[in-house]
Chains A and B, each alone.
Chain A
Amino acid sequence: MERNLTELTDEELILEFQSNGTEKAFEILVQRFKNPLTNYVYRFLGDYDSCVDVVQEAFVKVYRYKDNYSSLAKFSTWIYTIAGNLARTEYQRKKRRNFFSISSFGEEEKTYDIPDNSYRPDVEADMNMKSEIIQKALLKVRDSYREAVILRDVQEMSYEEIAEIMQIEVGTVKSRINRGRAELKKYLKDIYYE
């Protein structure tokens, strides 16, 4: 039985979980999507703790609202949409909190980069200086552009999938990706134009 479930596609697993309430199918989906989703949300938020919370919240929503899934769509686009919406909400919440806690003290228009002090040995071990700079540059890019760039260049999704996840046209996805890359290059000029 277990062997059969692991061989099933994402869509078949969620249908099995929908129709029969098989929790093993849900667990297999969690195993398949926990790391890509964590990577995606971490690149978007830049904070590991809140990233894990967001991914877990996304899986809780899948568990609770499994009946809302339509078999016409891909499961990956559905769960990425849920995680993306939650990540955007969390980012806005963090932004407001940082605005009221720091910007009110100093100059009016200047914003501060909040250093990520969370020490993660498994992440820090693989991170070199360059990747750290790229991550900081990514966080400076506008939200909508950043999401499109991460999904395309980090997660390596197709334009059609990104369009479905972000619920926009493919042309809009392409333009957002280009603008996001241009912004990113501007912030990383010290690395690429030396």
Chain B
Amino acid sequence: MNNEEETNKKLLDDLKNLPKVNAPKNFETELWRKINSSEKEIKESIWDKIFSPGKIAPAAVAVVSAVIIFFVVDVNSEEMEDPLNIEPRLREDLIVYEMNDDISVQNEIKTEIKKKDDESIIKSTTRESNQNKISSEIKSEEIKDESRKELDKKITDDELSAAELKLDTNVSTETRSLGGTVSPAIITTNSSEINKSNLNFMQRNLTVEEKVEVQQLKMKVETQKSAKTDENRTNPTQK
């Protein structure tokens, strides 16, 4: 225990008596040099470094180039944003709707709707076709009747025109010179008298003998017709 105390005392004495280390002689001058340099660094770091011409020029160039690039890129971006070239936006809400609902049920509903639509279309088409058939039949009958009437009219007109040939003063000299069986149609000077039948240039001009024969045949036919009508009137019960 005494040894321990002695060693402690010795140690403390030795630590106290350690040679004192002093600062060097030029301590103050070095210190003031450091203080001045640190002050200069502070002043330079705030204003001089920012506004030094060596840094303003490249900074200005960089800013100007950045502005130019910005405008150039901006103009290009407007050209690039052509709505026709942009892909349509993905409708996520629709996708979610399909994902959530049962797709098979939807398909069934769609097929049913299609079937109904097809049936209605078929029905309507059949109706229309039937109506068209009926109307076409009616029309064809009407056309036939009209054609018959027109034929009758033609025949009568031909007869009348043939009878009037001698009396007509406006007949052209060319028709007279042709003479034969085929002659051009009669040209009338009066425009109000032009008819559809008159426009037929291929009318047959019969000779007098042929006309006489035709009239005789007509007379025969009429007599036969009248005889038949008389027979029908006299004996209606025989039919």
Using CB atoms and an 8 Å cutoff, list the residues of chain A in contact with chain B: 27, 30-31, 34-35, 37-39, 42-43, 48, 51-52, 55-57, 59-60, 63-64, 122-123, 126-127, 130-131, 134-135, 149, 153-154, 156, 181, 184-185, 188, 192-193
- Do B18 and A123 have beta carbons less than 8 Å apart? no
**B11 near A60: Cβ-Cβ < 8 Å:** no
Interface membership of chain B positions 22-50, coded 1 if the CB is closer than 8 angstroms to chain A and 0 otherwise: 11100110110011001000000000000
Chain A residues with CB under 8 A of B24: 52
Check if B140 is an interface residue, CB within 8 A of chain A.
no
**Chain B residues within 8 Å of A42, by CB:** 21
On whether the beta carbons of B19 and A126 are closer than 8 Å, the reply is yes
Q: A35 is contacted by which of B12, B23, B30, B31 (Cβ under 8 Å)?
A: B23
Contact status of A192 and B12, CB under 8 A, knowing A27-B28, A34-B27, A60-B35 = no
Number of A-B contacts (CB under 8 A): 78
Q: Counting CB contacts under 8 A, is B8 at the interface?
A: yes
Residue on A nearest B27 in the bound complex, by CB:
A34
Known: A27-B28, A34-B23. 9 other contacts (CB 8 A): A34-B27, A38-B23, A39-B21, A52-B27, A56-B27, A56-B30, A131-B14, A134-B14, A192-B10
Q: Does B7 contact A (CB under 8 A)?
A: yes
Q: Among A39, A48, A55, A156, which residue has the most Cβ atoms of chain B within 10 A?
A: A39
Q: Give the one of B10, B22, B24, B31 with max A CB within 10 A.
A: B31
Compute how far the CA of A74 lies from the CA of B21 in the bound complex, rounded to whole angstroms: 24
Select from chain A the residue with minimum beta-carbon distance to B19: A126
A-B contact pairs, 16 of them (CB 8 A): A35-B20, A35-B23, A37-B23, A38-B22, A42-B21, A56-B30, A56-B31, A126-B20, A130-B14, A135-B18, A153-B16, A154-B18, A181-B11, A185-B8, A192-B11, A193-B7
A residues in contact with B12, CB < 8 Å: 153
In the bound complex, do residue B16 and residue A51 qualify as a contact, i.e. CB atoms below 8 Å apart? no
Report B-chain residues with C-beta under 8 Å of the C-beta of A153: 12, 15-16
Count contacts on B: residues with CB < 8 A to the other chain.
Answer: 22
Asked whether, in the complex, the Cβ of A43 is within 8 Å of the Cβ of B18, the reply is yes
- Min CB distance B22 to A, Å, is 5
The answer to whether B31 touches A60, judged by C-beta atoms less than 8 angstroms apart, is: yes
Contact B11 A35 (CB under 8 A): no
Checking A37, A43, A56, A181 against B34 with a beta-carbon cut-off of 8 angstroms, the contacting residue is A56
- Are B18 and A134 interface neighbours, CB within 8 A? yes
Given A56-B31, A56-B34, A192-B11, A39 contacting B20 (CB threshold 8 A)? yes
Contacts known (A43-B18, A59-B31); A181 close to B23, Cβ less than 8 A? no
Residues of B within 8 A of A123 (CB): 19, 21
Which 5 A-B pairs have CB atoms at the shortest separation, nearest pair first? A126-B19, A153-B15, A34-B23, A42-B21, A38-B23
Contacts of A188 in B (CB 8 A): 11
**In the bound complex, CA of A64 to CA of B39 (Å):** 8
> Is A127 in contact with B16, judged by CB distance below 8 angstroms?
no
Residue of A nearest to B18 (CB): A131
Chain A neighbourhood of B19, CB < 8 A: 123, 126-127, 131
CB pair A60–B34 under 8 Å, yes or no, is: yes
Q: Say which residue of B22, B35, B38 sits within 8 Å of A39 (CB atoms).
A: B22
Q: Interface centre among A51, A60, A184, by most B CB within 10 Å?
A: A60
Identify the closest chain A residue to B10 (Cβ): A192
Interface pair A185/B23, CB less than 8 Å apart: no
Which chain B residue lies CB-closest to A40?
B21
B183–chain A nearest beta-carbon distance, Å: 134
List of B residues within 8 angstroms of A192 by Cβ: 7, 10-11
Bound: A27/B28 CA distance, A: 8
